[in-house]
A and B are shown apart, each in its own frame.
Chain A
Amino acid sequence: MTAPAARPALAPALRDAALAALIALGLFLPLVGLRTDVGPGGGLFLRTRWPDVALLVGVVFLGRLAARLWQDWRAARRGASLPKRLAGPLSRSGRLVAPLLLAFALLLPVIPGIGRYELDLGILVLTYVMLGWGLNIVVGLAGLLDLGYVAFYAVGAYSYALLAQAFGLSFWICLPLAGLLAAFWGILLGFPVLRLRGDYLAIVTLAFGEIIRLVLLNWVSLTGGPNGISGIPRPSFFGLSFSAGGGPGSFADAFGLEPSPTHRVVFLYYLILALALLTNWVTLRLRRQPLGRAWEAMREDEVACRSLGINITTTKLTAFALGAMFGGFAGAFFATRQAFISPESFTFIESAIILAIVVLGGLGSQLGVAIAALGLIGGFEVFRDLQEWRMLVFGGAMVLIMIWKPRGLVGSRTPSVALGQRRTISASMVAEGRG
């Protein structure tokens, strides 16, 4: 069906191109064709540049013709055949991607040739996957644009660092505490912004993120200010430490292994993997529960939600609190992994990267967010040699993705419940949420 469609389209395309050329002629005739120059005697004289005009008009004509033909050709090719042909294999392969990624993530430390660098990179990527999944609750499901998500990451990190140093609490006690404190701050942020929507919400959350960072920077007596906090205790494996020298009570000693610094890295890797999967599990479960459905309904239409007796206040606050809690978990992990934190790690650009991950991956899509985090954070590292060029490349790539897939890599939505077969809902029907 492609060949016959292309032929009759030629005449209108020619007419269209001729029209464009005519407009170009009208514009370029006075603009380019006539030029006043200063003559040798100091007087002005009119110089004509007809060849230039002809050239420009010709370029416009050919360019317009090519664009029209390309559009027609694409429209003809698209006509039902292409999407239909691709839809089956795509959705089938899509179902395979998630288990494959999960298997890869689980097996990464035992794959031969994977060294410390790759594991560290894996930890970094998984941290951002977790942050992306956490923010996905707020932005993707509830449709609340949050530009200050890094604040909860910071709250989690500082909670762990301060609790562990001041009270000597272990990582496993501090982890839930850090999550709870971050959730508390999420609710604190939630209250003033309940009535705000869209751009206004974004600005206030951005300010909130900056306030937290500035407080951390200036409250020197508590947080150490710009010097940060160092010597944060490392996590233990059921009470077994990962000291480099081995010795009694260490992980290597208990399992009769050769002491190696890799043990801790592998442990941290599995720790963040477990935390990320916990985030994913809770989110997936909640999506099928009334609460998750209310979040999505709120994203679609807040007014209609209210008319159905859904309390918008508590629904919004639970989204903020849950998103913040997972941010806090990730922050506590970050602190224990780095053993050093300072306000510099929690700048606005972090919020922007996490939001970019969520938006590029597709609002509300767990798989999309994971792929986007892998591509964005992994890409940053892999292309480190390109130095400043990589920012340019990534900016360009983001623009291209937004042109090609304006709703993110996985913009479609899977229904949470179905009478018959679950069919994905195309991205064009799903609302982004306005606040």
Chain B
Amino acid sequence: MRPILSVEALTMRFGGLTAVREVSFAAATGAITAVIGPNGAGKTTMFNCITGFYRPSEGSITLHRPERPVALHRLAGHRIARAGVARTFQNVRLFGGMTVLENLLVAQHRRLMAATGFGIGAVLGLSGYRAAEAAAIGRATAWLEACGLLDRADDPAASLPYGAQRRLEIARAMCTEPALLCLDEPAAGLNPRESLALGALLRAIRDGRAAEGASPCSILLIEHDMGVVMGISDHIVVLDHGSKIADGLPAAIRADPRVIAAYLGEGEGEDEEDEADAGAAGDGPAA
């Protein structure tokens, strides 16, 4: 297994609270890796460390690009995106007042900006910006088609139904041409049919056959919906109380007693106070 992302001894503290404690795992290239765990297990915190929204207290995060490995924990937020990590948000964060197409063009900002001679040439109408923009629109169109949003291209993003907004956010992330796509609960709020379609879309993205000209992209996702997770993941990492408790193939995770204990609150006494949490997490791994 060639890793695309390796996380080593990642620790994140907020004051006295340790949200993530010495978590190490690797996400394989060309695979869908899922991070699961009960509420408050530290999934989103770890996610924010990987995507540069938090700076980890300790540990390292490395993105393995073909050219050279990139130490993500040292980079500023926007540089992580440039290094090839794209993300979506638990609460959809689109540019609501801009059209669907504009959302996808903003995602290609860097390439377009370089084509405009960093703004100056474009104002004067000098550069070959037109060609770059046409290419960008072509790429956006391909992703809109992949996500079934082509007929809504000129509508404001805020006017889309919720499921379409989630797909648009994925399309927008993919327009940055990432090596690793990080999805924070992509199936939250989707109905079963939409979840199924999402699973198919994610597999297509992984294999690079989602849109014309797309290259294969590894995926790291946080998800509560066990149906989605078990259905599409190649590899699962389970967190509980900020620590990794299991790491393996879906079938192994499903049978792991520690995972079941974490979700159902059985077993060790120190887990008992979290029964309510585990209950709120909804589906157990066996569901």
- Bound Cα distance from A306 to B110, whole angstroms: 12
A289 at the interface (CB under 8 A from B): yes
- Bound Cα distance from A62 to B158, whole angstroms: 41
Check if A425 sits within 8 Å of B99, measured CB to CB. yes
Check if B101 sits within 8 Å of A418, measured CB to CB. yes
CB neighbours (8 Å) of A192 from chain B are none
Check if B81 sits within 8 Å of A293, measured CB to CB. no
Indicate which residue in A300, A307, A415 contacts B87 across the interface (CB closer than 8 Å). A307
Check if A306 sits within 8 Å of B77, measured CB to CB. yes
Check if A430 sits within 8 Å of B97, measured CB to CB. yes
Check if A291 sits within 8 Å of B119, measured CB to CB. yes
B25 at the interface (CB under 8 A from A): no
A416 at the interface (CB under 8 A from B): yes
- Bound Cα distance from A429 to B53, whole angstroms: 26
- Total interface residues on A, using CB and 8 Å? 38
CB distance from A87 to the nearest CB of B (A): 16
Known contacts A282-B123, A289-B123, A420-B154; A296/B95 CB under 8 A? yes
Known contacts A285-B123, A308-B176; A418/B99 CB under 8 A? yes
Check if B105 sits within 8 Å of A309, measured CB to CB. no
CB distance from B75 to the nearest CB of A (A): 11
Check if A419 sits within 8 Å of B82, measured CB to CB. no
CB distance from A180 to the nearest CB of B (A): 14
Indicate which residue in A289, A301, A415 contacts B102 across the interface (CB closer than 8 Å). A415
Check if B96 sits within 8 Å of A286, measured CB to CB. no
B74 at the interface (CB under 8 A from A): no
CB neighbours (8 Å) of B122 from chain A are 285-286, 289-291
A339 at the interface (CB under 8 A from B): no
CB distance from A357 to the nearest CB of B (A): 21
B93 at the interface (CB under 8 A from A): yes
CB neighbours (8 Å) of A293 from chain B are 98, 102, 105-106, 109
A93 at the interface (CB under 8 A from B): no
Check if B159 sits within 8 Å of A429, measured CB to CB. yes
CB neighbours (8 Å) of A431 from chain B are 96-97
- Bound Cα distance from A193 to B137, whole angstroms: 34
What is the chain A residue whose CB lies nearest that of B95? A300
A305 at the interface (CB under 8 A from B): yes
Check if A419 sits within 8 Å of B116, measured CB to CB. no
CB neighbours (8 Å) of B107 from chain A are 308
B113 at the interface (CB under 8 A from A): yes
B40 at the interface (CB under 8 A from A): no
A211 at the interface (CB under 8 A from B): no
CB distance from B260 to the nearest CB of A (A): 34
CB neighbours (8 Å) of B133 from chain A are 417
Check if B154 sits within 8 Å of A421, measured CB to CB. yes
What is the chain B residue whose CB lies nearest that of A420? B154
Indicate which residue in A285, A304, A416, A421 contacts B94 across the interface (CB closer than 8 Å). A304
CB neighbours (8 Å) of A303 from chain B are 53, 89, 93
B-contact 0/1 string along A2-13, CB 8 Å cutoff: 000000000000
Check if A300 sits within 8 Å of B96, measured CB to CB. yes
CB neighbours (8 Å) of A294 from chain B are 106, 109, 113
A356 at the interface (CB under 8 A from B): no
- Bound Cα distance from A285 to B89, whole angstroms: 31
B172 at the interface (CB under 8 A from A): yes
What is the chain A residue whose CB lies nearest that of B79? A309
CB neighbours (8 Å) of B173 from chain A are 307-308
CB neighbours (8 Å) of B113 from chain A are 290-291, 294
Known contacts A290-B112, A417-B105; A307/B154 CB under 8 A? no
What is the chain B residue whose CB lies nearest that of A425? B156
CB distance from A335 to the nearest CB of B (A): 26
A310 at the interface (CB under 8 A from B): yes
Near A by CB (< 8 A), chain B positions 134-186 give: 137, 141, 153-156, 158-159, 172-173, 176
- Bound Cα distance from A293 to B108, whole angstroms: 11
CB neighbours (8 Å) of B78 from chain A are 306, 309-312
- Bound Cα distance from A416 to B125, whole angstroms: 16
CB neighbours (8 Å) of A311 from chain B are 78
Known contacts A290-B116, A307-B77; A297/B95 CB under 8 A? yes
Q: Which residues of B contact A (CB under 8 A)?
A: 51-53, 77-79, 81-82, 86-87, 89, 93-99, 101-103, 105-110, 112-113, 116, 119, 122-123, 125, 129, 133, 137, 141, 153-156, 158-159, 172-173, 176
Q: Which residues of A contact B (CB under 8 A)?
A: 282, 285-286, 289-291, 293-294, 296-297, 300-301, 303-312, 318, 413, 415-423, 425-426, 429-431
Instruction: Give 19 A-B contacts (CB < 8 Å), ordered by A residue.
Output: A285-B123, A286-B119, A290-B109, A293-B102, A294-B106, A294-B109, A294-B113, A296-B98, A300-B96, A301-B95, A307-B51, A307-B87, A307-B173, A415-B102, A418-B153, A418-B154, A419-B101, A419-B141, A429-B159
Q: What 20 additional pairs, Cβ within 8 angstroms, besides A289-B116, A290-B116, A419-B154?
A: A289-B129, A290-B105, A296-B102, A304-B94, A307-B51, A307-B173, A308-B107, A308-B176, A309-B78, A309-B82, A310-B109, A415-B154, A416-B102, A417-B137, A418-B99, A419-B101, A419-B137, A422-B154, A425-B156, A429-B159
